[in-house]
Chain A
Amino acid sequence: YVLTQPPSVSVAPGQTARITCGGHNLESKGVHWSQQRPGQAPVLVIFYDSDRPSGIPERFSGSNSGNTATLTINRVEAGDEADYYCQVWDSTTDHVVFGGGTKLNVV
């Protein structure tokens, strides 16, 4: 199973960033999103398409429909600059699959 993400997304501070993750019939799977700031371990920001772990700002939201899941970050801040990875469980192979990652540039 393959998850496809754009290599990079650029957004100005205060604007809305949308990062996509594409996969065949993705809406049938639960999609998770992790944020990885430079030099740090990943942090879960969205799980099961649209749930937010405690401590994650409400600015972060997620959706999943058809073949595309989307991570949306409202009112982007400089501190949101990071790599973002989508992730699913592939029950056909019993493997976890990550997307290639998207670098969010706040410019």
Chain B
Amino acid sequence: EVQLVESGGGSVQPGGSLRLSCVASGFDFGSYWMHWVRQIPGKGLVWVSRVNKDGTTTDYADSAKGRFTISRDNAKSTVYLQMNGLKAEDSAVYYCVRDDTGAFHNWGQGTLVTVSS
């Protein structure tokens, strides 16, 4: 069974940093692209970032570019999202997602990030 378990969310002041982690199991982690998607409670899904199978290629939404960094450790079956310079508008539930040939076949349960003074 595929499992994606996010952690690292919490409350942080504007300008602060957080690192989200997502531990994967139940599949060959190193064979799949991985993504982060966020959702403000009550609002829609917004794509944040993706990383290729070996971590050498990354893409970011405009809102994340220059502030967020996605990375992965295939030996630990873990994908990360380092978030710096956090703003109130970054407050959301962040989901880790497995990309199987372009479709999001598996989602984690999400981790809540709250940016507030």
Interface residues of A (CB under 8 A from B): 30, 32, 34, 36, 41-44, 47-48, 53, 83, 85, 87, 89, 94-101
Contacts and interface: CB of A to CB of B under 8 A. Distances in A.
B111 to A, nearest CB: 11
18 contacts: A32-B102, A36-B45, A41-B108, A41-B110, A42-B45, A42-B104, A44-B105, A47-B105, A48-B102, A53-B105, A85-B45, A87-B104, A95-B47, A95-B59, A96-B35, A98-B47, A100-B44, A101-B44
The SS class assigned to the B binding surface is strand
A47 B114 CA distance: 32
Nearest to B46: A98
Contacts of A101: 44-45
Interface string B67-107: 00000000000000000000000000001000000111111
Interface residues of B, number: 19
B61 A95 contact: yes
Interface in B42-67: 44-47, 50, 59, 61
B105 A96 contact: no
Contacts of B107: 34, 41-43
